[in-house]
Homo-oligomer: A and B are copies of this chain.
């Protein structure tokens, strides 16, 4: 469903959000440990999330990653997925046809669009805040 990059990116962002809600900055090393992802690959993903403006990064000792607290409930899962995987999971024909729309559909067009719309709606409605809160209160987990 999601790429590995996206999985790691989502987990990392949620973890950073939890810490940011406590005004704490976290290092790449800590993130990778806590979300059980490869350090160097995670670094690349965090880089692109920083470039997209979803997270902030700071170099040097006491450096690390954080998220502006006011942003935490405006950031949606959709934003994270889009920043990492682009729009490839949101657009295009389910069977890979170049020309496929309601007027000239592929055989699975309607059904596929239905499922994908559900996915889009879910991603647009799910805030980083609720994901971080669920983790914070121990309702959910990110390791293993």
Contacts and interface: CB of A to CB of B under 8 A. Distances in A.
A interface, how many residues as a size bin?
A: 35 or more
List 9 tightest A-B contacts by C-beta distance, closest first: A107-B131, A7-B96, A107-B140, A7-B95, A99-B144, A98-B144, A111-B122, A115-B119, A105-B140
Contacts of A144: 97-99
A51 interface: no
Specify how many copies of this chain sit in the oligomer: 2
Interface in A39-82: 77
Contact of A108 (B115, B126, B139): B126
A25 to B, nearest CB: 21
Nearest to A92: B1
